[in-house]
Chain A
Amino acid sequence: AQSVTQLDSQVPVFEEAPVELRCNYSSSVSVYLFWYVQYPNQGLQLLLKYLSGSTLVESINGFEAEFNKSQTSFHLRKPSVHISDTAEYFCAVARGTSYGKLTFGQGTILTVHP
C-alpha cells in the first residue's frame, strides 16, 4: 500500500515571498503524483500532476513541483505567493494506472499575509 506524508500542517508566509510545501510518499510500485488545492467550502481543484516524462511540472498559476524518485518526494514550490493563494493544499498518489483511487496526505494550510 502507498502512503503520503505532508510534512507541514500549516505554512504562514508573507505576500511575494517564496514558499515550499513538502510531500513525501512511500510505495512499492510506481506511482503517479498530484497536487490539489481546496478553497473554503469548495471541492478539490487539480493544481498539477506528474505522470511520466520531465520530473519538473508546472501549473498555469506559477506553482511547480519536482518528482524526485530517489528521495520519494514531490515538493510544491512557488517563487512569489499572492494573497489569493491562501488555501489548503493536498498531495496525492495513485498507484500504477489506478487513477481512480487516490491516497491523500493530511493537507497543508497555506496562509499568505499582506
Chain B
Amino acid sequence: KAGVTQTPRYLIKTRGQQVTLSCSPISGHRSVSWYQQTPGQGLQFLFEYFSETQRNKGNFPGRFSGRQFSNSRSEMNVSTLELGDSALYLCASGSDTDTQYFGPGTRLTVL
C-alpha cells in the first residue's frame, strides 16, 4: 500500500496570503488528521476529519480550516498568513480502529 502523501512538500508565501495544503491518505483510511510542528510549540493537533465531517478540533484560530472529500483526500487552508504560521504541517491517516500513519509533511515558510 502506498503511504500518506502530501503536496506540496515545500512552500514559500508572504504575510497576508493564503495557502492550501493537500493530503492523500492510505487507501481505505477514512480518518485524516492535521498537525502543526514548530520548534517552539512542538507538535500540535489542528483537526481531524472522518467521512467528510470534522470530528475533532484543536485550539487554533479560525484562519485554519480544512475539509475532506468523498475519496478521503483532505485539504487544509490557512488564510491571512502570519510569520508564526511557518511550520511543518503533518497529515496523518488512520482506519479509526488503530494507529495513525503520518505523511512526510509540507514545510511552509512565511516571509
Which of A69-105 touch B at CB < 8 Å? 90, 92, 98-105
A43 touches which of B33, B56, B58, B90 (Cβ 8 Å):
B90
Interface residues on B, range: 20 to 34
For the complex, would chain B's binding face be called helix, strand, loop or mixed by DSSP majority? strand
Interface residues of A (CB under 8 A from B): 34, 36, 42-46, 49, 51, 90, 92, 98-107
Interface residues of B (CB under 8 A from A): 4, 31-33, 35, 42-45, 48, 50, 55-56, 58, 90, 92, 94, 96-105
Q: A100-B100, A101-B58 are in contact. List 15 more A-B contacts (CB 8 A).
A: A43-B103, A43-B104, A44-B102, A49-B99, A90-B43, A92-B43, A99-B96, A99-B98, A100-B56, A102-B35, A102-B100, A104-B35, A104-B42, A105-B42, A107-B43
